[in-house]
Structures are given as C-alpha cells and as structure tokens.
C-alpha cells in the first residue's frame, strides 16, 4: 500500500564545493548533477528522485551559498534559498576538514529559523582520522540544534546508506510524488549542456570557467540512431576565447571529446558534438543573457 511508504523532499544545502552534488549523485546511483573541484559548479536547483521499497526521497541539489558578486551569483543564492521552504527535511552539508567560517554561521542562522528538521551531514570523512571527527561535531553543535548528525563520504559511499535511512525517518507517510521511472526534472538537453560545462570547469584554470555558459543550439536524434549536438561555449572576454580554443584548437578538442564520452554514457547513444566559442561581454551581469542561458 502506497500509504505505508515515506515520501518527501530533501534539500541539500551548504557552502560551495562541500560535495552536495557528489552526494546526491551517489545516493541516486546516477550522474545527473555535474561536479568539480572548483567552487560554484552548480548554478540551478536540480531535482532528482530516489525510489525504493521504503518510499521516495525527492532531492533538491542547490548552488553553494556564498556572497554573490554578480547577478548570476544572486540568482544562484536565491535558487538555493528557494529550496528550503519546499523541503520536508534539510541536509546541511559541511566539509569535515574545514574550520567554521562566516559562511557557516550565516547558513546556521537561516536554517535555525526554517522550522524543518535539519540533518548535519559531515562530508569528506575519508580525509579525517577517527579522533578528528568529534571536535568537528562539537563545533557545529554550538551553532544550532540538529535533528541528526551523520558523517559520510560521498566519494567512497561510507555512511551514505545510514544517511538515506535517517532521511526516510524524517519524511511523512503518503503517496509517491513521481512514478518509479522518474529520475530528474532536468531534460537531456540541459544535462548535455552541463556535461560540456563540467569539462570546461575541469580543463580550464582560474576564473575562466566561472564566466562560461553553455548553450545547446541543436540536439537532434538521427535516423542512424545517433545524436547530433551543436553547442556554444559562451565566455566573457575575447582573451578567454583564445584560451578555450587553445593552441591549434587543442583545448576545445579535449573539452569536446571528454564531454562527448560523458553524453554518450548518459544517452547510451553515439554522439557527434560540434562546439563553437562565443563572447558575450560580462554576461554574468546582464539580465537578457542570463535568461537566454537558463538562469531565470
């Protein structure tokens, strides 16, 4: 009987780069959200659905909470904040290794007033020695009251099943929100654009990838059973364009071939990918461009 199942929304909140998207991908067992070692990788709210015999958890992955310096940044922080009232339970993800900073204090202020159970998830525990965990727990406990505290490693999966059980224990009983086949609200086009942007984050250095947007111009399924994709990599300055293309086109080739492999894995279909690099000066502060690139 579906009435015996637990179902609800779990928002994954935290500072940039703490492993929110890695954790969500790990629990659902599929790569939907892109990840990188650079902060501010996720820019939109991404919904994914985990279903098993216990019920259904609808995860809301969010951009990292930070002090916004651009209109894109403000959009990202607003997206993260918007997930809180939509959730039945909040997962506040923190990094085991890092000291508590101003960012954590301001997140704790928001969450202590949200009237929802907050689970403190201490991630990246694979980097900690056993006796280093207790001081971390004590430090966060001083900030606010938590419903639960769960140490995990999103990277190797330690503690993730325990966390899933804890999330279910905080969800109400009720009918499922989605059928069992539903995994995400993201379209294939959106995921393809993100997989291309992921490679720009992974291959390019410094500030350049933060000023990149990817726009899928065309994505067609051909009679031969392949996908033909044309996409623009949009950057902020002429000088960035040259770096993205690289010597003799080498960087763009690398980004394209790695992104193609990832898109083929997702679609289980051969992919032909054509990439173009365009400049839209300071697009991160331009409302029209932000809308055009899906940040609205």
Ligand X SMILES: Nc1nc2c(ncn2[C@@H]2O[C@H](COP(=O)(O)OP(=O)(O)OP(=O)(O)O)[C@@H](O)[C@H]2O)c(=O)[nH]1
Does position 262 interact with Mg ion (CB under 5 A)? The reply is no
Closer to ligand X at the Cβ: 209 or 256? 209
Closer to ligand X at the Cβ: 30 or 269? 30
Stretch that binds Mg ion, among 38-46, 74-82, 206-214, 229-237 (CB under 5 A): 38-46
The number of residues in the chain equals 296
Binding at 51: pick from ligand X, Mg ion, none (beta carbon under 5-8 Å per type): none
Binding at 56: pick from Mg ion, ligand X, none (beta carbon under 5-8 Å per type): none
207/225 Cα distance (integer angstroms): 38
Strand order in the sheet with 46-52: 46-52, 55-61, 6-14, 89-95, 118-123, 148-151
Lookup result for tokens 């996720």: 42
Q: Which two tokens stand for residue 261?
A: 């492999």
Contact 153, 125 (CB under 8 A): yes
Instruction: Find the shortest distance in angstroms from Cβ 48 to ligand X.
Output: 13
Strands 55-61 and 6-14 come out as parallel
Binding stretches for ligand X (CB under 6 A): 14, 16-22, 35-37, 39-42, 63-64, 123-124, 126-127, 153-155
H helices present in 6-159, as ranges: 20-28, 71-83, 102-112, 133-141
Closer to ligand X at the Cβ: 6 or 45? 45
Instruction: Find the shortest distance in angstroms from Cβ 33 to Mg ion.
Output: 6
Instruction: Find the shortest distance in angstroms from Cβ 153 to ligand X.
Output: 4
Instruction: Find the shortest distance in angstroms from Cβ 142 to Mg ion.
Output: 27
Binding at 154: pick from ligand X, Mg ion, none (beta carbon under 5-8 Å per type): ligand X
Closer to ligand X at the Cβ: 36 or 215? 36
Contact 173, 12 (CB under 8 A): no
Crossing angle of helices 250-267 and 238-245, rounded to 10°: 70
Strands 227-235 and 271-279 come out as parallel
What is the radius of gyration, based on Cα positions, of the chain? 20
Does position 25 interact with Mg ion (CB under 5 A)? The reply is no
Closer to ligand X at the Cβ: 16 or 103? 16
Closer to ligand X at the Cβ: 77 or 114? 77
Binding at 17: pick from Mg ion, ligand X, none (beta carbon under 5-8 Å per type): ligand X
Does position 184 interact with Mg ion (CB under 5 A)? The reply is no
Using CB under 5 A as the criterion, what x/- string covers residues 4-23 for binding Mg ion? Answer: ----------------xx--
SS3 183: coil
Closer to Mg ion at the Cβ: 41 or 199? 41
Q: DSSP letter string over 75-92?
A: HHHHHHHHHTTT-SEEEE
Contact 153, 123 (CB under 8 A): yes
Closer to ligand X at the Cβ: 7 or 198? 198
Contact 215, 231 (CB under 8 A): yes
Binding at 76: pick from ligand X, Mg ion, none (beta carbon under 5-8 Å per type): none
Q: In the complex, which residues of this chain contact Mg ion (CB under 5 A)?
A: 20-21, 41-42
């Amino acid at each position: 009987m579906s009435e015996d199942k637990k179902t609800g929304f779990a928002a994954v909140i935290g500072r940039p780069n703490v492993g929110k998207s890695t954790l969500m991908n790990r629990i659902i067992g599929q790569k939907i959200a892109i990840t990188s070692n650079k902060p501010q990788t996720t820019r939109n709210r991404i919904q994914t659905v985990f279903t098993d015999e216990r019920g259904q958890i609808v995860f809301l992955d969010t951009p990292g909470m930070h002090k916004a310096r651009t209109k894109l940044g403000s959009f990202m922080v607003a997206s993260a904040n918007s997930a809180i009232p939509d959730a039945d339970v909040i997962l506040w993800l923190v990094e085991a290794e890092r000291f508590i900073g101003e960012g954590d204090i301001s997140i704790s202020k928001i969450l202590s007033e949200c009237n929802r159970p907050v689970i403190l998830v201490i991630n990246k525990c694979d980097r900690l020695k056993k006796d280093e965990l207790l001081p971390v727990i004590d430090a966060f406990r001083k900030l606010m009251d938590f419903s639960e505290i769960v140490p995990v490693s999103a990277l190797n999966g330690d503690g993730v099943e325990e966390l899933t059980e804890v999330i279910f224990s905080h969800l109400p009983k009720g009918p499922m929100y989605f059928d069992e086949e539903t995994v995400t609200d993201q379209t294939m086009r959106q995921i393809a654009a993100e997989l291309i942007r992921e490679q720009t984050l992974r291959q390019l250095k410094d500030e350049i990838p933060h000023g990149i947007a990817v726009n899928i111009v065309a994505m067609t399924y051909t009679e031969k059973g392949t996908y033909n994709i044309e996409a623009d990599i949009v950057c902020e300055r002429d000088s960035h364009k040259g770096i993205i293309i690289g010597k003799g086109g080498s960087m763009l080739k690398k980004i394209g071939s790695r992104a193609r492999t990832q898109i083929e894995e997702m679609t289980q279909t051969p992919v032909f990918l054509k990439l173009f690099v365009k400049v839209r000066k300071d697009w991160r502060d331009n409302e029209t461009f932000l809308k055009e690139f899906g940040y609205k």
